[in-house]
Amino acid sequence: MLLPLLLSYNASLISREQTHDLTQKQKRDYYWWQRRHWPGHCQRICTSRRRHIADITAIAAQILHLLPQPDILVNNAGLGRFVPFMQMDEALFDAHFNLNIKAPYFLTQALLPALMARQGNIINISSYFAQRMLPDRATTAYSASKGALNSFTKALAFEMGASGVRVNAIAPGSVRTPQLQHNIDVMPAEKQRAFARMIKTIYPLGHIGSPEDIGRAAVFLASDHAVWITGAVWAVDGGLTTN
Q: What is the number of alpha carbons within 13 Å of residue 100 lying toward its C-beta? A: 25
| Integer Cα distance of 94 and 108 in angstroms | 19
Radius of gyration of the chain from its Cα atoms, rounded to whole angstroms: 18
| Integer Cα distance of 101 and 83 in angstroms | 19
Does the annotation mark 30 as catalytic?
no
* Active-site pick, 9, 105, 142, 203: 142
| Integer Cα distance of 80 and 8 in angstroms | 10
Phi, psi of 169 (to 5 degrees): -135, 155
| Integer Cα distance of 202 and 231 in angstroms | 27
- Active-site amino acid positions: 142
